[in-house]
Amino acid sequence: MQKSRLTLYIFIALILGVLAGYLYNIYVIDSVNRNLSAAEASIKKLDARLALTDSTTAAFKPLKAQRAAQADLRKAADTLREDKLEGFTILTTIFLNLIKMIVGLLVFSTLVVGVAKVGDIKAVGRIGGKTLLWFLSATLVSLLLGMLLVNLFQPGTEMHLPLPDSHLATGIKKSGISFKDFIDHVFPKSFFDAMAKNEILQIVVFSIFFGIATAAIGEKGEILIKAMDALAHVVMKITGYVMMLAPLAVFGGITAVVAKQGLGVLSTYAVFIGEFYFSLTVLWAVIIFAGFVVLRKRVFNLVGKIKDAMLIAFSTSTSEAAYPRVLVELERFGCSNKIVSFVLPLGYSFNLDGSMMYMTFASLFLAQAYNMHLSIGQQVTMLLILMLTSKGIAGVPRASLVVIAGTLPLFNIPEAGLALILGIDPLLDMGRSATNVLGNAMATAVVSKWENELTEERISELVN
């Protein structure tokens, strides 16, 4: 009953957030947005004039001064807008900070217990092999589906959007793609540093070593395993308390997004947004069908159980916020604790299906917008690069943009093109975050079935 009430409250918060955001945009934010748009238009005109003006002429210095003044006005308007939205964003910030407070400890305690219960390195390797097989297959399908659908729809060509200045800075830090950086990111220098920064992949690596070593020392390790199991249940109880704030976080997150962008952005980018969400729907169908092949009709029961978690991820634009809820629901579904605690954390670094699709969809959209024809070979190369560089990205807002920003220069696509999608990225991030939750839950359930560790639905409640 409590679970159904939470779903209802989250859905009501979603609707109220859209309504409140729309009204707040009209009566409070609209004037600020007009000032911001006027400053951006002036900067664009001044940039065009500066490009045609010799830097040695007398006219150049006044133009630079005008541009600096307009840039200050833009910054002031942007700051004012953020200040006016602070009352709503703080609701989401509190919820996300509470989730981050427990997620590292939750991953560590549950994974150590899970690996220790598996018992030996061979079993860990077997489960890990099956998990990575699913993850790599899902990643490849997601990237390939994004590539095929963006080529089919051609949104970059059909929308005829005005292109930003090729020298425009987006403020997005590029993601390096060197093998050394990847290895450095995977293996922790310090467990406590990884916990402090919520580096899930590094916590997973340490937890696997810790769990195997705990199992290897026999009876002495049993005490530690029981302590870790108790710790996991304590953190789960905290999760139950934190989840009471989920409807407020949903309301704050949705209100801030709609208030900031307004519903007008939906008409301007209706084609791109509609085609991307249609593509996500196709990906959902593929994921559910793949799960149906293994889980049969129980797959629909699984989707029903994780709908709360997906709504939370959708509203907060981060799949990490849904992690504790997904873990609880998977165990209620019947997945073994040792499989859930092993597969799910890995999924949050290696199996972000929605983000994968977005990377190829957005990258090729920008190529189309700049009228750049990429051959099939180039597109496949881009797909493979994204497949490698995306591993280990966090399930947090804008992580996909970081990887895209590092990939675009390799194909001579202007990084400034990201300005075309920065404004609507929060709307797109909501959909891909929910998809990430679905993909990770499905992967965990499938691996549980493959390992004969999937039982009938459990009656006991882990979180009241």
Per-residue pLDDT at 273 exceeds 70: yes
| pLDDT value at residue 364 | 93
Least confident of 48-62, 71-85, 159-173, 219-233: 159-173
pLDDT-based confidence at residue 149 (cuts at 50, 70, 90):
very high
Q: Does the CA dihedral 180-182-183-188 come out positive or negative? A: positive
pLDDT-based confidence at residue 119 (cuts at 50, 70, 90):
low
| pLDDT value at residue 181 | 65
Output Rg (C-alpha) for the chain, integer angstroms: 24
Average pLDDT, the chain: 84
| pLDDT value at residue 159 | 74
Query: Whose structure tokens read 């940039």?
Result: 47
For the beta carbon of residue 226, count every other beta carbon within 10 angstroms: 11
**Dist CA 238 CA 311 (whole Å):** 20
- Per the DSSP assignment, residues forming a β-bridge with 454 are 335
Per-residue pLDDT at 287 exceeds 90: yes
Per-residue pLDDT at 341 exceeds 90: no
Contact 253, 20 (CB under 8 A): no
Which tops the pLDDT comparison, 159 or 369?
Answer: 369
Cα 202 from chain centroid (whole Å): 18
Mean pLDDT for the stretch of residues 158-162: 71
* Domains of the chain listed by start with CATH number: 2-450 (1.10.3860.10)
Per-residue pLDDT at 396 exceeds 60: no
Least confident of 11-15, 70-74, 87-91, 404-408: 404-408
Is residue 316 classed as helix, strand or coil in its secondary structure?
helix
Per-residue pLDDT at 290 exceeds 90: yes
**Dist CA 283 CA 285 (whole Å):** 5
**Dist CA 255 CA 130 (whole Å):** 41
Per-residue pLDDT at 447 exceeds 50: yes
179-208 pLDDT, tens per residue?
A: 666 677 778 889 898 888 877 778 888 988
pLDDT-based confidence at residue 461 (cuts at 50, 70, 90):
very low
Residue 189 has what DSSP assignment? S
